[in-house]
Structure 1
């Protein structure tokens, strides 16, 4: 736990040695493994990787929201705005967590279809959230009207509707509005567009760009869909085998990816303008959270793997001031695994 208030004012979350484990009949399952990263204030940080790579569990750990019997360890430090006293999130008690969640950091979970109580009108969800956090309900509903309007919804119609009376896109936007009702600084979005069609996905991404500016937000956007992030994220974290294998600016990742897994993800991404035979699936199976693979976790699937990759886990190395990767062959990867010169360009125009 940090005792000093001295910190780069640009950092809102500092994560060190983060682990999430579950006990199973087969042994200890580590679904987040020694993860280190910072989140910068007012940035949009994208977290990408295959399903089951540890993205959602990492985001839950940021809020100390991993459900039992999961256990979270390490350090998650939140730095409030205006030089407030740092908060060690994993040391908060239940009352402190209640105030921290929604008030400082709010989360939009995947699956808006099932996030609302079907027998309660949307207005009731807003009122319940305000009352549970001892906020003025009348003032809060006035804010709800503004937020829903900013989300291009008719506030009165939405608030007076049951969830089943709204389309999927309307429900998703209403859920974003509910997450913003207590004026959080950080908005965590876990696969928020997974159940929506392509046009609605694009609409939600465009709205998030507007909301980020309007409400002075830091956004963490979790997805396995790289094209969604090309026009939204400032930085990208790539996760594989429950750990971070690469981090850099969006341009770093899209145009100069340094890890074989990242390049394979780019080559496996559908492009409507390219021949289908140019798509390349990632061979092999995803890693087992119970089994510890010696050396680099990606080596069983990596076309560049050598004996050195099997012997020792690679450290994170700097490619530039903004770009780091965990691959001992990062200097050769561009020759061995080419990627499109302009990957996914125009996908979200």
Structure 2
């Protein structure tokens, strides 16, 4: 069995090369009641031009993983481990070794981030066009050429460039603001776009619209995307691979269709069982009993054992390494085969369509 912190998770995504390597990354905060670990010895490879969906309950560590990719963990948080970036042209380097000026360039020109709630990301006293121009000047880009690209991005997102650029944030709807923020994040042509719950404040129709637009942008620009959400069915429409987080670490990773069709980890199966859909009766849907672990007091052994119906003494005392489930699919569980028998779920019609989409 492979130990958890020795597993690279550099899974074969159709021969795609690795763009970012995260190695044994942890984030801790010192608190009055003890040291809080909000990311626990995480190792992950992100492949060039893939769409990686990261899912899990609130507080599982998803946002902290996004911050770690950009060395943007806020004080007094301490990030240890390493994040290695392999640019398309040039030598690989450690993100954690960059100085302030290098980080400024890296965070916009190589990897960019879209946060939840666009209204909080824009300066309300500045027009959308002003945000675009300020970003270009701050990175010494040609403003005229950059604005031409910005207009094209807005048009790609089905926005009227003239109207949007002349507007202030409050003059746009929530969906328009979020799409404008996505365009701004792509303005400097980064290789990676990280989206942290980018559609959480929007209605269902707008969420689906934005994920569809992101798929189009991915196809047109070949950008690597990392989509972080607690909504597994939402990201299923978009992702090539899914990575499931629980208690500040990854517990299952694999091709999207594999995990949707036949998840291996008890937690992932419980997540899918708890999602409302039109294909199963209400009484078949069950919330996950219990609470997520306290970051100051994470259980020993498998962190999910407190809530898991299959847990035994081995689970309580020993942290499971990743087991190979199928090609490119791994789960950190001693009893992943039993989980498929004991924890059943039904996919919605839409999830069935995604699961068996031959294009993936």
Give the TM-score taking structure 2 as reference length.
0.92
Q: Is the 8 A contact 1:227 1:347 kept in 2?
A: no
1:45 match: secondary structure: strand
1:263 match: secondary structure: helix
Q: How many residues align?
A: 341
Deviations, residues 127-159 of structure 1 (Å, cap 9, x unaligned): 111111111111111111111011100001000
**Structural mapping, 1:62-73, within 5 Å:** 62-73=69-80
- Equivalent of 1:127 in 116, 130, 133: 133
Shift of 1:44: 0.2
1:345 match: secondary structure: helix
Q: What is the match of residue 117 of structure 2?
A: 111
User: Aligned equivalents of 2:151 and 2:250: distance in 1?
Assistant: 39
Q: Is the 8 A contact 1:255 1:342 kept in 2?
A: no
Calculate the aligned-residue CA RMSD, in Å: 1.6
1:169 match: secondary structure: helix
User: Aligned equivalents of 2:354 and 2:281: distance in 1?
Assistant: 15
Structure 1 unpaired stretches of 5+: 1-7
Give the TM-score taking structure 1 as reference length.
0.95
Shift of 1:252: 1.5
Structure 2 unpaired stretches of 5+: 1-14
Q: Is residue 293 from structure 1 mapped to residue 292 from structure 2 by the alignment? A: no
**Structural mapping, 1:31-110, within 5 Å:** 31-82=38-89, 84-110=90-116
Shift of 1:320: 2.0
User: Aligned equivalents of 1:273 and 1:69: distance in 2?
Assistant: 46
Q: Is residue 312 from structure 1 mapped to residue 318 from structure 2 by the alignment? A: yes
Q: Is the 8 A contact 2:242 2:255 kept in 1?
A: yes
Shift of 1:292: 3.0
Q: What is the match of residue 282 of structure 2?
A: 276
User: Aligned equivalents of 1:249 and 1:227: distance in 2?
Assistant: 14
2:182 match: secondary structure: helix
Taking a change above 3 Å as real, the CA distance of residues 123 and 341 of structure 1, as seen in their structure-2 partners, is closer
Q: What is the match of residue 140 of structure 1?
A: 146
Deviations, residues 139-190 of structure 1 (Å, cap 9, x unaligned): 1111111110111000010000010000000000000000000000100000
Q: Using the TM superposition, name which of 266-275 and 152-161 deviates more.
A: 266-275
Q: Is the 8 A contact 1:46 1:235 kept in 2?
A: yes
User: Aligned equivalents of 1:273 and 1:247: distance in 2?
Assistant: 25
User: Aligned equivalents of 1:188 and 1:203: distance in 2?
Assistant: 18
**Structural mapping, 1:1-349, within 5 Å:** 10-82=17-89, 84-340=90-346, 344-345=351-352
Q: Which 4+ stretches in 1 moved above 6 angstroms? A: none
